[in-house]
Amino acid sequence: MHPAPSVIIFTMFSGLGFGLLAYLGLGLPPVAGWVAFGFFTLGYTLAVGGLLASVGHLANPKNAIKAFSQWRSSWLSREGVMAVASLLVMAVYAIALIFFDIRLRMVGLLGAVLCIGTVFTTSMIYTQLKTVPRWHDWTTPPVFLLHALGGGALLAGQVRMAGIFLAMLGFLMVWAWIKGDEKGLSGTTLESATGLGRIGKLRLLEPPHSGQNYLLKEMAYDVGRKHAFKLRIIALVLGYALPAALLLLLPVGHVLALVIVIAHVAGVAAGRWLFFAEAAHVQRLYYGK
Amino acid sequence: MTDLPKSTEKKLGLVIDLDTCVGCHACVVSCKEWNTSNYGTALSDVDAYGAEPQGTFLNRVHSFEAQPESGGCSQTVHFPKSCLHCEDAPCVTVCPTGASYKREEDGIVLVNEDDCMGCGLCAWSCPYGARELDQIFGVMKKCTLCVDRIYNENIPEEDRVPSCVRTCPAGARHFGDLGDPDSDVSRLVAEREGMDLMPEMGTKPVNKYLPPRLKDVPSDAALEPKYKDAAGLFGWLDKALEKF
């Protein structure tokens, strides 16, 4: 699949933002006043910035408002509804906490649940697609959730929790990569795609068109995969292993925390690029790919 | 709501005969011609007369070569591909805006372009690559089964079939109600063992493909030489030329 910057930024930063907001809703850290203002600003900037980036992926954004209508059938619509609900509930909690020094515990708890729910709906947009076997797997939702829980804890200064979640994520990510490689196209072949397997082995003789098209650009992406293994190592070390080790083994001050956050974001960016670039869509078979 | 209808009154669709298709791409061209000037926005082209032309098409013809494992002749199969109007169409349920829908009366899958926000998720969910996001208009385009022809009383009756079916010079494309077991198309599917594409995806496509008939093995197909020893005038000529 085409690793569009808009969807990489969207999934990465909205995940981090909603993760941070979830911790703040639970009173972790127990901030108030202007410090709380700073934390909530960061959380909202990441969450809303990510969502705005996703609008950049739309070819006809004037109809984006209609995406809230189909929550009964569509995961993308559910995500939109959940995102807005989380941001509104958390806004009530944040305003009470910052300006009135009142901690509305139940509202915060509800907001936290909605934030995590939003990340789950994001993951389901990808998990639901049978056409991309690498995504259509039980590992996809926990990978997204652990990114939000680990990255969110890191931003919220929850050192031990961040270390534990990121360590878990590292192991799960390696498992998901290996499993995704083994799955390939999950048994779908050019022979099953055309029904012509009854004659014999197939090859593409002539493609339907000599130039590019939307299908090739969007769903038959194969640029830069030769560095996939190196990028996996970068994602694993910078995104999960190094942060987890530093968080769990060293006393973490503000400077070290900043280094860990930068490493984590860089690693996750590499990993999220791979999430799209390595995902193979079955329709590419028709193009002999 | 982008739920799928529990059942549809008719299951209109295409039956494509891979034995007959000659790969001329006339269906591709006639589809583009009809659909660029009718339902919804035009099917745009980018750099149409330049070095890297590309554009939106609702129907494309791939050509494959099948090699029998036993050896023998390979078979070239031309393979037209467009929306299969699936009974369990994933492109409908993933749509967040309600733009993508399946009609209860005839099973045609359509996009209401006034609601489409161009997110492309329906194209991701389609295993067949049957949907293309128009690069200029930013809305999802797909085969409409020429919904603006098949019920159109302003055109002659023989034209009230999809444009690709009307134009196919080989008669490789058939249109009808696949929900009616007595329809011509259903009987054709039964006789010729019509098949689904990627049945493992669980989409239950309405369109069916008729497999190509198997080719002869070369040794069976070759003609025996008819005259071993020519007689009469040709026999005399043969001998005379031999000596000459």
pLDDT above 80 (res B43): yes
Nearest CA in chain B to A287: B62
pLDDT at A150 over 70: yes
Average pLDDT (A223-236) is 87
Smallest CA–CA distance, residue A86 to chain B, in Å, is: 19
Average pLDDT of span A11-37: 95
CB contact under 8 A, B119 and A57: yes
The C-alpha R_g of chain A, in whole angstroms, comes to 21
Mean pLDDT of B11-38: 97
Contact B1 A72 (CB under 8 A): yes
For strands B173-177 and B12-17, give the pairing. Answer: antiparallel
Report yes or no: A70 at the B interface, CB cutoff 8 Å. yes
Residue B236 pLDDT grade (very low, low, confident, very high; cuts 50, 70, 90): confident
Query: Would you give the distance in Å from CA B212 to the centre of its chain?
Result: 14
Which residues in A lie closer than 8 A to residue B212 (C-beta atoms)?
196, 199
What pLDDT does B217 receive? 73
In percent, the amount of chain B with pLDDT more than 70 equals 96
Q: Give B118-158 pLDDT, tens digit per residue.
A: 999 999 999 999 999 999 999 999 999 999 999 999 999 99
Set of chain B residues whose Cβ sits within 8 Å of the Cβ of A1: 124
Checking if the pLDDT of A3 tops 60, the result is yes
Rounded Cα distance between A175 and A186, Å, is 17
Cβ–Cβ under 8 Å, residues A211 and B54: yes
How close is the nearest chain B Cα to the Cα of A2, in Å? 11
pLDDT at A187 over 90: no
Give whole-number Cα distances, A151 to A119, B61, B148, in Å.
12, 47, 52
Please name the residue of chain A whose CA is at the shortest distance from the CA of residue B132: A214
Partner-chain residue, chosen from A75, A218, A287, that has the shortest CB–CB distance to B123: A218
pLDDT band at A220 (very low <50, low <70, confident <90, very high): confident
CA B173 to CA A277: how far, in whole Å?
37
Asked if A188 lies within 8 A of B116 by C-beta distance, the reply is no
Non-local CB neighbours of B26 within 8 Å, separated by 6+ positions: B167, B168, B169
Task: Give the model's pLDDT for residue B239.
Answer: 85
Q: Do B120 and A57 touch (CB under 8 A)?
A: yes
Residues 163-192 of A with CB under 8 A from B: 186-188, 190, 192
Q: Name the minimum distance, in Å, from the CA of A191 to any CA of chain B.
A: 9
Residue B89 or B240, more confident: B89
Count interface pairs A-B at CB distance under 8 A: 205
Query: Mean pLDDT, chain B, as a whole number?
Result: 93
The per-residue pLDDT for B70 is: 81
Distance from CA of B9 to the nearest CA of A (A): 22
Chain B CB within 8 Å of residue A200 CB: yes
Q: Rounded mean pLDDT of B169-182?
A: 97
Task: Note the pLDDT of residue A226.
Answer: 77
> What pLDDT was estimated at residue B2?
66
Q: For chain B, which residues make up each domain, given as ranges?
A: 12-243
What are the backbone angles phi and psi of residue A216, rounded to the nearest 5°? Answer: -70, -45
Q: How far apart are CA B105 and CA B102, in angstroms?
A: 9
Cα gap A3→A8, rounded to integer Å? 7
pLDDT above 80: residue A147: yes
Residues B175-181 have a mean pLDDT of 97
Please answer yes or no on whether A287 and B57 come within 8 Å at the CB atom.
no
Residue A223 has pLDDT above 70, yes or no: no
Task: Judge whether residue B4 has pLDDT over 80.
Answer: yes
pLDDT of residue B218: 67
Q: How confident is the model at residue B223 (pLDDT cuts 50, 70, 90)?
A: confident
ipTM over 0.85: yes
Instruction: Tell whether B28 is within 8 A of chain A (Cβ).
Output: yes
**Rounded percentage of chain B residues whose pLDDT exceeds 90:** 82
Q: Do the Cβ atoms of A66 and B138 come within 8 Å? A: no
Whether B96 sits inside 8 A of A74 (CB atoms) is yes
Pairing assessment for the beta strands B208-210 and B12-17 based on DSSP bridges: parallel
Confidence of residue A123 (pLDDT cuts 50, 70, 90): very high
Distance from CA of B243 to the nearest CA of A (A): 50
3-state secondary structure of B65: strand
Q: How far is A173 from chain B (nearest CA, A)?
A: 23
Identify all chain B residues contacting A70, using CB atoms and an 8 Å cutoff: 1-2, 95-98
Contact yes or no for B57 and A74 at CB 8 A: no
Closest residue in A to B28 (Cα–Cα): A208
pLDDT band at B238 (very low <50, low <70, confident <90, very high): confident
Contacts of B43 (CB under 8 A, 6+ apart): B32, B35, B36, B55, B56, B57, B58, B134, B141
List all residues of chain B from 176 to 235 with a beta carbon under 8 Å from chain A. 195-202, 209, 211-212, 214
Mean pLDDT, residues B222-239: 78
Q: Does the beta carbon of B110 lie under 8 angstroms from any beta carbon of chain A?
A: no
Statement: residue A93 has pLDDT above 70: yes
Average pLDDT over every residue of A31-49: 95
What's the CA gap between A22 and A180, in Å, rounded? 30
Is residue A253 predicted with pLDDT exceeding 90? no
What's the pLDDT band for A224 if we cut at 50, 70, 90? low
Nearest chain B residue to A55, by CA = B119
pLDDT band at A168 (very low <50, low <70, confident <90, very high): very high
Q: Which of B66, B93, B86 is nearest to B196 (CA)?
A: B86
Once rounded to an integer, what is the mean pLDDT over residues A164-188?
95
A81 touches chain B (CB under 8 A): no
Report pLDDT for B242. Answer: 86
Domain at B12-243, CATH from 3.30.420.130, 1.10.3720.10, 3.30.70.20, 3.40.80.10: 3.30.70.20
Contact check, Cβ <8 Å, A67/B97: yes
Res A227: pLDDT:
86
Q: Which of A101-105, A220-224, B100-104 is predicted with the least confidence, judged by mean pLDDT?
A: A220-224
Residue B1 has pLDDT above 60, yes or no: no
